Chains A and B, each alone.
Chain A
Amino acid sequence: MLTDLLGFPPQVLFGQLLLGLINGAFYAVLSLGLAVIFGLLNIVNFAHGALYMLGAFATLALTQYLGIGYWGALILSPIIVGTLGILAERLLLRRLAGIDHLYGLLLTFGMALVIEGVFVKLFGASGTPYAAPAQLQGGINLGFMFLPWYRGWVVVASLAVCVFTWYLFERTKIGAYLRAGTENPRLLQAFGVNVPLLTTLAYGYGVGLAAFAGVLAAPITQVNPMMGSNLIIVVFAVVVIGGMGSIMGAIVTGLSMGVIEGLTKVFWPEASSTVIFLVMAIVLVLRPAGLFGKTA
């Protein structure tokens, strides 16, 4: 068998593939949010990692101060953080509409540094543990590995959100308006559609996706101020590989990069933080617009 040839027993390989898929689910949800924001607002949202972190901290705060558990937070945290995102779009990002991308990038990057800096100052770098909900404690022995129920839930929830988002943007009327708004906002406005409101809501939705991923991550890693900055660069690479602004590209690339990274962790663990960038470089040489991107 191929797996035997590579010197690894098949059960190890299956386990690593599954773990890769779990991590890929996070990449998919995060890069999906970035793709929505870039596709509709033309903003390279470097604050995405910080917003993901805010989602996790909101979960923690809801439990500690209001006694609202994980399931409530899964709905409320994205709404809270999404509202913050809407405020930021109205108060700050809107002013940069129509000028060079670079300004939006710098502003969101600055926002991320400020938010993360404040949280490190307040909470320290080690973070706080957050317990998985009682219904998802423990796990199941699959024969080739022990799968914690919670990790399984992460994959199911992420895929559900990805499919919903794809459907919303590609198959509904609101999605059609949004896509038309990027193509030709003036024309759409002439038809009586409130385009600025649409873009604000789209940003709020993208931010909400980041926060949703943050809630999913809270029981897995420590809830920690730097949890987003460790991830965001990889997620940007995923978006570039998939094609900036492509929703399907973000989903498929997120999952597949998780798997590629997972396999690298077995065959060459030291390179596992680099392999995605290697793929990015190769894709940029062969298909500059990304795997799913349309060439301009």
Chain B
Amino acid sequence: MKLFKKFAASASALALLTSGASAEISDGVVKIGLLTDMSGTYSDVAGPGTVTAAEMAIEEFGGTVAGAPIVLVSADHQNKADIAANKAREWGDTEQVDAFAELVTTSVAMAVFEVAKQQNKIALVSGAASSPLTNEACIPTGLHWTYNTRALAVGTGSAVVKEGGDSWFFVTADYAFGEALQNDVSKVVEAAGGKVLGSVKHPFPASDFSSFMLQAQASGAKVIGLANAGGDTINAIKAAKEFGIVDAGQTIAGLLVFLSDVHALGLETAQGLQMTVSFYWDLNDETREWSKRFFEKTGKMPTGIQAGTYSSVRHYLKAIEATGSDDTDTVVAKMREMPVEDMFSHGGVLRTDGRMVHDMYLAEVKSPAESSGPWDYLKIVRTIPGEEAFGPLSESTCPTK
């Protein structure tokens, strides 16, 4: 019904027919299966934009790698783990897909990890945020690229505590991601001497947040931490403003806020909000150049998930180019050996627990007066070094690290 597929323009039928692919590339084609939320709550933060980003990576290789054509297929997983797992299994079993990409929503990433483990395929996770993906839930071929809940906690969590926000109440999305984010932020808050007064779990997705926000207000906590994302965060922030919670003196900490959320809320509502980002289009010349090309294709500036999808697909193809093989173990070994060098990451390191370690940024949303126009939304407050954001490898509880 909502499931649709699309072959990347980069892989022409001609290339498929005429490729004299090298013997090292299985089935004579490098095929990437991208699963994302195409129309739901997360379709603006990930969604069709991640397909464009993956296509941009493939275009850099001219559509072929190691003599074989690169094919991108994509499908809408509707944020449902069973749909994602079935599609991934079908792709792996019958359509020669070599790697799964994007995988927003933790439950989806975990379900696809199961399939990837059974089929020994690579999973390039960009959109899912939960830190368990490279801890207790890790698999040897699961590579977690863009960010995780620990990095978000270190960024936004510590910044808010430092400003005196030492008592917290969480409004948490009721699934694996919300729980992971709340846990990671609680650790940071408690380590800094702060207190967690309580939390309320809301169904995912939810449309009316007034009740949850009033419960948070009644807790008397100085900080209301939003452990949710996308449309849920937008509605929660709107409700906080409408019910005068911000004016009454409580701070709202959006623990995972994307550029597209700021765009949707408008600067009037979002100004002053602190957020931890893996990427911002206006960081340097490289990011501006890439983002401008992305904007021309989509009409929107990229989110971190979209830029991270580009980076992960590009690095995967780089490794195939370097080894001349698409064998899973060979490629993963090479991806770990090479530093991740592109507009998204400089000197990024892919660890044995699957974590790609790169710098993160603490940003603050500009006021309407500070902004020069659409998409000029953030000022970078601090660069968070990769090791600080993601923690040392010794901290990881991944059994196969």
Give A residues with C-beta under 8 Å from B. Answer: 9, 11-12, 15-16, 19-20, 22-23, 113, 116-117, 120, 124-129, 139, 145-146, 148, 150-151, 220-222, 224, 226-227, 230-231, 262, 265-266, 269-270, 272-274
Task: Give the CA-CA distance A9 to B215 in the complex, in Å.
Answer: 11
CB nearest to B199 among chain A residues? A269
Task: Give the CA-CA distance A266 to B218 in the complex, in Å.
Answer: 12
For A16, list chain B residues within 8 Å (CB): 211, 214
B210 and A19 contact, CB distance less than 8 A = yes
A129 and B266 in contact (CB under 8 A), knowing A120-B43, A148-B243? yes
Task: Give the CA-CA distance A66 to B1 in the complex, in Å.
Answer: 36
Task: Give the CA-CA distance A145 to B217 in the complex, in Å.
Answer: 10
B244 and A139 contact, CB distance less than 8 A = yes
Task: Give the CA-CA distance A266 to B210 in the complex, in Å.
Answer: 12
A224 and B231 contact, CB distance less than 8 A = yes
B43 and A269 contact, CB distance less than 8 A = no
Q: Is B206 an interface residue (CB 8 A)?
A: yes
A129 and B211 contact, CB distance less than 8 A = no
| Most-contacted residue by chain A among B207, B242, B248, B263 (CB, 10 A) | B207
| Most-contacted residue by chain B among A116, A120, A124 (CB, 10 A) | A124
A15 and B235 contact, CB distance less than 8 A = no
B207 and A231 contact, CB distance less than 8 A = yes
B214 and A125 contact, CB distance less than 8 A = no
B214 and A222 contact, CB distance less than 8 A = no
A124 and B44 contact, CB distance less than 8 A = yes
As a 0/1 sequence over residues 130 to 173 of chain B, the CB contacts with chain A under 8 angstroms (1 = contact) are: 00000000000000000000000000000000000000000000
Which residue from B47, B211, B231 sits with its C-beta under 8 Å from A262?
A: B211
Task: Give the CA-CA distance A273 to B230 in the complex, in Å.
Answer: 19
Which residue from B203, B205, B243, B269 sits with its C-beta under 8 Å from A129?
A: B269
Task: Give the CA-CA distance A221 to B200 in the complex, in Å.
Answer: 20
A126 and B243 in contact (CB under 8 A), knowing A222-B235, A270-B203? no
Task: Give the CA-CA distance A217 to B1 in the complex, in Å.
Answer: 29
As a 0/1 sequence over residues 185 to 214 of chain B, the CB contacts with chain A under 8 angstroms (1 = contact) are: 000000000000000111101111011101
* Closest CB in chain B relative to A14 CB, distance in Å: 11
Which residue from B40, B206, B265 sits with its C-beta under 8 Å from A125?
A: B40
CB nearest to A26 among chain B residues? B208
A–B Cβ pairs within 8 angstroms, 9 of them: A22-B210, A125-B41, A125-B43, A125-B44, A126-B261, A126-B263, A221-B235, A227-B207, A269-B200
For B260, list chain A residues within 8 Å (CB): 124, 126
B264 and A129 contact, CB distance less than 8 A = yes
B264 and A128 contact, CB distance less than 8 A = yes
B264 and A266 contact, CB distance less than 8 A = no
A125 and B210 in contact (CB under 8 A), knowing A12-B215, A230-B205, A266-B215? no
